[in-house]
Amino acid sequence: MRDGLGPARVRLRGGPVLAELAERFGEQARAKVLSGEVVDADGVAVDAATVLPCGASVYLYRELPDEVPVPFEIPVLYSGADLVVVDKPHFLATMPRGRHVAQTALVRLRRDLGLPELSPAHRLDRLTAGVVLFTARRELRGAYQSLFARGLVRKTYLARAAVDPALELPRVVRSRIVKRRGRLQACCEPGVPNAETLVELVSDGLYRLTPRTGRTHQLRVHMASLGIPILGDPLYPDVVDVAPDDFGAPLRLLARRIEFDDPLTGVRREFVSGRPAP
């Protein structure tokens, strides 16, 4: 682990390692081999003469892209031997993906808390703020992730949107949501529903959203489908180009509360965001 980020694993086609890495990744990869920065599965540095079979793996640290710093702290709601729960700010991705690597909650928390095995038990969209649960040790991740996968975690969100007097609420929205690789938006398609959200109007323009499933962009898609897209949403109903350093207009969506029975102790856990309603 370096600065909160683990090495990249590269599965090889087989043959001279230096030639393959240089062909696939360019001169930077060649330089890393020659400087002893690339290791095999046993942690032994490879060199210009190393030949490995097809399917073998080597590990190296990536050169991080230039990223716009996200100028917000990550308040810690709870820190224990098993769990770390934080109040993630808007604009900070939960974990590395695409062009967001160092400026993610996972990498910053690993570095700041000195917890190299920290892992997310679930994920919030980069633009969504609120409660996120991390496991402190690698062997615990599966137990907590399975709670989310099996729908055993109750999650409550708050969102700000326009009010449509003709819209009958509360209501349960069900649809089939599909997110395809390479497309920014998820979309609703005909077929068996795989996404369900309870939508309630709490006060003028403030909604409580209780998802019963966890599809990508589910709440944003469902609110847009009702004709009341969440304020500040750059994707729904239409894609809006936003500068990467524009932090002035956040998505008005907050993961307010998480509740579950701890899989290790059976104790009822509840964590609530300290952020004001969006």
List residues bridging with 272 in a β-sheet. 257
pTM for this entry: 0.87
Averaged pLDDT in 10-residue chunks for the chain of 278 residues: 82 94 90 92 93 94 84 97 97 89 94 94 96 96 95 97 96 96 91 97 97 95 97 95 88 98 96 97
Which stretches of the chain are assigned E, i.e. beta strand?
Answer: 8-11, 15-16, 39-40, 51-52, 57-60, 76-79, 83-88, 119-120, 129-135, 154-160, 171-178, 187-189, 195-203, 206-211, 253-261, 268-272
Residue showing tokens 């993961």 = 255
Q: Pairing relation of β-strands 129-135 and 253-261?
A: parallel
What is the C-alpha separation between 106 and 127, in angstroms, rounded?
15
Judge whether 1 and 116 are in contact, CB under 8 Å: yes
Spell out the residues 6+ positions from residue 11 whose beta carbon is closer than 8 angstroms to its own.
55, 56, 57
* Residue 62 DSSP code: P
**What is the CB neighbour count within 10 angstroms for residue 204?**
7
pLDDT for 64: 77
Compute CA distances 34 → 29, 54, 59, whole Å: 9, 21, 14
List the one residue out of 148, 107, 115, 95 whose CA is nearest residue 258.
Answer: 148
Give the side-chain half-sphere CA count within 13 A for 262: 13
CATH of domain 74-151: 3.30.70.580
Domain parsing of the chain, residue ranges: 6-58, 74-151
SS3 154: strand
What is the C-alpha separation between 215 and 155, in angstroms, rounded?
13
pLDDT for 79: 97
Phi, psi of 113 (to 5 degrees): -95, -10
Spell out the residues 6+ positions from residue 243 whose beta carbon is closer than 8 angstroms to its own.
none
Give the side-chain half-sphere CA count within 13 A for 78: 18
Looking at the annotation, which residues are catalytic?
125
Query: How large is the C-alpha radius of gyration of the chain?
Result: 22
Q: What is the tally of helices (H) and strands (E) in the chain?
A: 5, 16
